[in-house]
Structure 1
Amino acid sequence: MPELPEVETVKRTLNNLITGKTIEQVQVRLPRIIQKPDDIQMFEVLLQGQQIETIERRGKFLRFVLTDYVMVSHLRMEGRYGLYSSEDPLESHTHVLFRFTDGSELRYKDVRQFGTMHLFPRGEELTQPPLHKLGLEPLDEGFTFEAFRDRIAHKKTKIKPLLLNQEYIVGIGNIYVDESLFLAGIHPEREASSLSKKELMLLHEAIIRTLSDSVEVGGSSIKSYVNGQGEIGLFQHQLNIYGRQSQSCKTCGSEIYKTVVGGRGTHICPTCQPLKRKRIIKKSEK
């Protein structure tokens, strides 16, 4: 599933490709993609004549800000957008087409068919599902150490599933939780309430650093992720621990192992991430 860096990359790519374009016609080929409104024809009609002012991101969701509406899109497992000429042949698994007045088309493809779209009058999208309960944005100015600590410091929950909970912090999926916890030297099964102030500071820094580094290289293409121009991300080449079970840790040489924490596959270095050891990020690693 695309996580924050991948969705941020798609957002930036689409802003370059379609901002300022005006929608002439919409064709929904798979009705269940559209979650709001219930009437698919209304979805198609309401979007006619709408200009795309900008595309924003909230957690793992894209927000298409239009003249009068906001379309909230979740890519889920395999969803992807691409810009085509209206004359280009239609590819398999293309479920929604947005035809623009200049003859180009934004096409949404989704092999797994898990993606969703919601349409709201502008200003209402943040007060209703699916965006209304989302937590802190880890790359925003508001993601201060104090805000981070207040959200998680007293929770008697294992730190990994807590970080995966989008009501606390958004966008940090399985890949980036594993990478951030490794960088901070924290075992994924530690209770959040057991972390010292220093460990919380290290984790806060590690989350920002990991996500920022991934955004810089277009995210991670672990399976089938590509941006709006069909380009893969490159962060998978920088991963320290995720997907490296049975390999040697780049830091200490110990064998990385994979287990399950909170129902998710989890990668751990037994030396760098013991249950009670603290680890400081060295200046040379920054």
Structure 2
Amino acid sequence: MPELPEVEVTRMGISPYLISQTVKKVAVYNPNMRWPIPAEIAELNGQMIEKIERRAKYLLLYCTAGVALLHLGMSGKLCVVSSSEPLKKHDHFELFLQSGKSLRLNDTRRFGAVLWFNELSDADHVLAHLGPEPLTDNFNSEYLHQKAQKRQVSIKTFIMDNKVVVGVGNIYANEALFMSGIHPKKAAAKISLAKYKILVENIKLVLAKAIKQGGTTLKDFSQADGKPGYFAQELMVYGRAGEKCKKCDLELTGLMISQRATVYCKNCQK
């Protein structure tokens, strides 16, 4: 599924085409998403999109009348195309823009979402429980160490908890833990502040690098301009179970943690 870097790359990709553009028409081709697309989404008609922000994996499109909240789910993608381009299978939602272009949401599994709120505060039931953004100063080693007190859950599960920190999905949790030399099954409470400092630095590093390189190449993801990301070419452990560790040549071990595929090196991660 698209993770934080892919969503951020999508935000950067669509922003030049949408900001300061007026919505001429809203089209809902299939309202049956994760939550039904509300009829109120039609309030976007005639509105100028003022800015686009990201919160966790949600994209927020602001205009005078309110905020449209979009989520890509497991297989969704947003593309900017000519409004005259024929619809593709699984195109469920479209914004026709004054420029003659359209923003389309394509989602094969329909776990994505399109919601409308007249005030951002109305979206608290969706956003209020989320932890800090990982690339901000609010996410630091002292914060993470404090949150981990008495938590016996595995460190991998802990850093993937959106109530602790948003956007550290499976790919980047695997990578950051390897870079930090931390065993993914180690209890969160048993990790020192010094180790958390290293882990926080590596989470920020791996996410920033993925964003810079265009997001990880996943079969269900493409940027707004249709170009794939390239971070997957540099993955150290994710998806490489049974292959040699790039640091020590030991065979990488694969297992499941909280029903998520996990790969680590028994020699490099303790």
2:199 aligns to what SS in structure 1?
A: helix
Q: How does 1:100-139 map to 2 (within 5 A)?
A: 100-128=97-125, 130-139=126-135
Per-residue deviation, 1:125: 4.7
Per-residue deviation, 1:141: 2.5
Contact kept? 2:132, 2:138, Cα under 8 Å: yes
Contact kept? 1:178, 1:266, Cα under 8 Å: yes
Q: What TM-score, normalized by structure 2, do the two folds share?
A: 0.95
What does residue 68 of structure 2 align with? 71
Structure 2 distance, partners of 1:198, 1:75, is 36
Instruction: Please state if 1:170 is matched with 2:166.
Output: yes
Instruction: Please state if 1:98 is matched with 2:95.
Output: yes
Per-residue deviation, 1:60: 1.1
Per-residue deviation, 1:222: 2.7
What does residue 9 of structure 1 align with? 9
Stretches of structure 1 that go unaligned for 5 or more consecutive residues are 275-286
Per-residue deviation, 1:3: 0.7
Contact kept? 2:19, 2:50, Cα under 8 Å: yes
Structure 1 distance, partners of 2:134, 2:122, is 20
Structure 2 distance, partners of 1:246, 1:35, is 39
RMSD of aligned residue pairs (Cα, Å): 1.5
Structure 1 distance, partners of 2:151, 2:191, is 10
Per-residue deviation, 1:101: 2.2
Structure 2 distance, partners of 1:60, 1:125, is 18
**Residues 165-197 of structure 1, C-alpha deviation per residue, up to 9 Å, x if partnerless?**
111110011000000110111111100110012
Per-residue deviation, 1:153: 4.0
Instruction: Please state if 1:222 is matched with 2:226.
Output: no
Structure 1 distance, partners of 2:106, 2:5, is 20
Contact kept? 2:34, 2:110, Cα under 8 Å: no
Residue 107 to residue 24, structure 1, CA distance change in 2 (3 Å): same
Mean alpha-carbon deviation: is it higher for 168-177 or for 88-97? 88-97
1:206 to 181, 202, 205: 202
Instruction: Please state if 1:87 is matched with 2:55.
Output: no
Per-residue deviation, 1:30: 0.7
1:193 aligns to what SS in structure 2?
A: helix
Per-residue deviation, 1:126: 4.8
Contact kept? 1:246, 1:256, Cα under 8 Å: yes
Stretches of structure 2 that go unaligned for 5 or more consecutive residues are none
Contact kept? 1:152, 1:168, Cα under 8 Å: no
Letter of the structure 2 residue corresponding to residue 10 of structure 1: T
**Residues 124-162 of structure 1, C-alpha deviation per residue, up to 9 Å, x if partnerless?**
25522x212100110112222222222224422111111
Letter of the structure 2 residue corresponding to residue 30 of structure 1: N
Structure 2 distance, partners of 1:33, 1:125, is 20
2:120 aligns to what SS in structure 1?
A: coil
Q: How many residues align?
A: 270
What does residue 32 of structure 2 align with? 32
Instruction: Please state if 1:58 is matched with 2:55.
Output: yes
Structure 1 distance, partners of 2:144, 2:227, is 33
Instruction: Please state if 1:48 is matched with 2:45.
Output: yes
2:54 aligns to what SS in structure 1?
A: strand
Instruction: Please state if 1:156 is matched with 2:160.
Output: no
Stretches of 4+ aligned residues off by more than 6 angstroms: none
Structure 2 distance, partners of 1:36, 1:134, is 22
Letter of the structure 2 residue corresponding to residue 27 of structure 1: A
Letter of the structure 2 residue corresponding to residue 178 of structure 1: N
What does residue 266 of structure 2 align with? 270
Structure 2 distance, partners of 1:54, 1:76, is 22
Structure 1 distance, partners of 2:250, 2:149, is 30
2:180 to 176, 179, 184: 184
Residue 109 to residue 197, structure 1, CA distance change in 2 (3 Å): same
1:33 aligns to what SS in structure 2?
A: coil
